[in-house]
Structure 1
Amino acid sequence: MRRATKIGLTVAALAIACAAAGWALTSPNRLSAEELAALPEGNAAAGERIFWAGGCASCHAAPQASGEAMLQLAGGVELESAFGTFVAPNISSDPDHGIGGWTASDFANAVRRGVAPDGQHYYPAFPYTSYSRMSDRDVADLFAFMQTLPAAASDAPAHRVSFPFTVRRGIGLWKRLYLNEQPQVALSGASEEAVRGQYLVEALGHCGECHTPRAVTGGLETDRWLGGRPNITPAGDIANWSETDIAYYLESGFTPDFDSAGGRMAAVVRNMARLPAEDREAIAAYLKAVPPVESQAESEEAAD
């Protein structure tokens, strides 16, 4: 009886220890008090550039919105995935339905850590794994600009996901694998322009979220950075494009072969066209400087 009691107590202790470890590992990792204190006062005028570079309107404006309606961030765009359908929420300045009641600290934790003001994890359909690399200045400026935009007094539809993905606590473990602030690639000997482009692509533009293959867990396969479909590395689908070609495409949507951007890329071009020319040129310089990745189809043929 004593032996059975000891075994039972040992099992109970292990269960409690595992539960405590799991709770700790899945807990939200917010920015520190020191990091939040370092946030500067935001400049709304400067924040408009960050808004377009970050593609905020592409997901958070109403579906098919154009013109001034792009600044009405009521949400509603649906993002389909293997884990369910995620719906972009209202991030307008409305205090009840949007983020009008947030502080700059709330916004910084959401953008760079994927944590809501109430401590809940956001789904990584919100590309905070890229935004985690944003500078304090750009975070503050973006928040200041977004507070100037119209309020929308409505809620977007709920996400449509099934168990176990409804248990958001588990995202804490996923973040430990995929959320960091380090550059995705090392640019040895790259120009200052390419280095600036790296920030625009890897952080603000979050280009890798669409152009990098994903593992079954939904995380990016960073060893194939930007080598997805389409592959936008120097060995991929734009291998024959010059930096001028890339910059012009980002401004106009026209390829060197006189084709035009379609699908979600059309929205990206509308955003990129609002940036200064030097930003598009920096992006082009970075895309020519990243390590080449062989296209997946070519890799499969070589394996055969």
Structure 2
Amino acid sequence: MKRLALGVGLAAIAGAAAAYGLTAPTPVAAGRLAAIAALEGDAAAGETLFWAGGCASCHAAPGAKDEARLVLAGGVRLKSDFGTFVAPNISPDPQAGIGGWSIEQFANAMLAGVSPDGRHYYPAFPYGSYVRMTDRDIADLFAFLKTLPASDVASLPHEVGFPFNIRRALGGWKWLFFTDEPRVAPAGDEAQLGRGQYLVEGPGHCGECHTPRNPIGGFVTDAWLSGAQNPEGEGVIPNLTPGGKAIAGWSAADIAYYLESGFTPDFDSVGGSMVSVQKNMAELTSGDREAIAAYLKALPARGDGWK
């Protein structure tokens, strides 16, 4: 009996140790970090990534307009079933923002969801999409962020209760859902679709809102971009595939024009949280908007993901 109890105890200890190791934050490989650090970031090119990535939508102060959108003081509140996440200050301020970060720390945050102090970031920060970004784009975006105005506004804490405030448990979430694999394999013009796929699945992180999630916050993988319940609690986020009603009847040119102007083919205008996204998309080149449109038209048709 004593041997049995000892065996059970040892097994429990081994299991706990394995779980602890499994949930440990895993930073970007040292070799890749060194390669990124060796790149000379191009701030002008980084501006494209800034708008494609929607940085201002979350990290500018709530309601910021025009030039104020470039002051990344944070404060936007993102409601979810797990609590409310508050976007932090990512301005170049060395204390309140990320002005004291190295390029390696920035790359770890963007590509691995690991903070400078070695903790997991919550996936409300869409590193699950940013993980697809190239080394060059990481370096260029960091260079651009350093050119923006500094803000000394302190970041506010997230409002997340037990058990979701146990950050170590996010290691298990990452093990289940964190991947840099393509979401779909669209067929068509390889160069244009490749660019569109990169923008939508990577820095544009469109799936973070437009794809339904399972009870623990992972994407429903066979429902990519098919729409989802609005985490704010009102209405739904539309289906972007050819199988939904939202844009199924739109041509690729219609989609590209909507992203540029904010007007639908029926001369309605963009609304809700998409207002900020459309403003970001308007800053891209026409070629990038056309690539996004081509990718969306090439998606497999799916029924509405919120049903």
The TM-score with structure 1 as length reference comes to 0.94
1:21 is aligned to 2:6: no
How far, CA to CA, are the matches of 2:222 and 2:5 in structure 1?
Answer: 46
% same residue: 61
CA distance in 2, matches of 1:158, 1:33: 30
Q: How does 1:38-117 map to 2 (within 5 A)?
A: 38-39=35-36, 40-117=39-116
Question: Any conservation in 1 of the 2:188–2:298 contact (CA below 8 Å)?
Answer: no
SS in 2 for 1:204: coil
Gaps spanning 5+ residues in structure 1: where? Answer: none
State whether structure 2 residue 271 is matched by structure 1 residue 262.
yes
Residue 235 of structure 1: aligned partner: 243
Query: Within 5 A, what are the aligned runs for 1:165-180?
Result: 165-180=164-179
1:281 maps onto 2:290 in alignment: yes
Could you list the per-position Cα deviations for residues 105-137 of structure 1 after superposition, in whole angstroms to 9, with x for gaps in the alignment?
100110011000111100000000000000000
Question: Whole-Å Cα distance in 1 between the matches of residues 288 and 85 of structure 2?
Answer: 30
Shift of the 110–86 alpha-carbon distance from structure 1 to 2, 3 Å rule, reads same
User: C-alpha distance in 2, partners of 1:241/1:30?
Assistant: 42
Equivalent residue letter for 1:240: G
SS of equivalent residue, structure 1 residue 247 = helix
* Aligned ranges 1:125-164 → 2 under 5 Å: 125-164=124-163
Structure 2's unaligned 5+ residue stretches are 228-236
1:7 to 4, 7, 15: 4
Q: Deviations over 1:135-172 (max 9, x none)?
A: 00000100011011111112122111110001000000
Q: Distance in 2 between matches of 1:187 and 1:257?
A: 28
CA displacement 1:280-304 (0-9 Å, x = unmatched):
010001001111112247xx6xxxx
Distance in 2, matches of 1:292 and 1:100, equals 44
Larger deviation, residues 50-59 vs 186-195: 186-195
Does 277-286 or 153-162 show the bigger shift? 153-162
2:216 matched to which residue of 1?
217
Deviation at 1:12, TM superposition (A): 2.5
Answer yes or no: is the 8 Å Cα contact 1:132–1:181 preserved in 2: yes
Structure 1 letter corresponding to 2:155: A
User: What is the SS of the residue equivalent to 1:52?
Assistant: helix
The root-mean-square deviation of aligned C-alpha atoms, in Å, is 1.2
> Which structure's residues are more often helix, by fraction?
1
Residue identity matched to 2:298? A
How many residue pairs get aligned? The number is 295
Deviation at 1:189, TM superposition (A): 4.1
The reply to whether residue 37 of structure 1 matches residue 45 of structure 2 is: no
In the other structure, the counterpart of 1:253 is 262
Q: Which shows bigger deviation, 58-67 or 32-41? A: 32-41
Is the 8 Å Cα contact of residues 190 and 289 (structure 1) preserved in structure 2? no
Provide the rounded CA distance (Å) in 1 between the counterparts of 2:267 and 2:190: 29
Matched position secondary structure for 1:161 = coil
The one-letter amino acid of 2:169's match is: G
Structure 2 distance, partners of 1:65, 1:164, is: 33
Displacement of 1:9: 2.3
Distance in 1, Cα, partners of 2:240 & 2:72: 30
Normalising to structure 2: TM-score of the pair?
Answer: 0.94
Moved over 4 A (4+): none
Structure 1 counterpart of 2:128, one-letter code: T
Q: Which has the higher Rg, Structure 1 or Structure 2? A: 1
- Aligned AA (2:118): G
Contact 1:129–1:180 under 8 Å retained in 2? yes
Counterpart contact for 1:212–1:225, Cα < 8 Å: yes
- The alpha-carbon deviation at position 219 of structure 1 amounts to 1.0
Aligned residue in 1 for 2:195:
196
Work out the CA distance in 2 between the residues paired with 1:31 and 1:296.
33
- CA–CA separation in structure 1 for the residues paired with 2:78 and 2:282: 23
Matched position secondary structure for 1:41: coil
Q: Is the 8 A contact 1:44 1:142 kept in 2?
A: yes
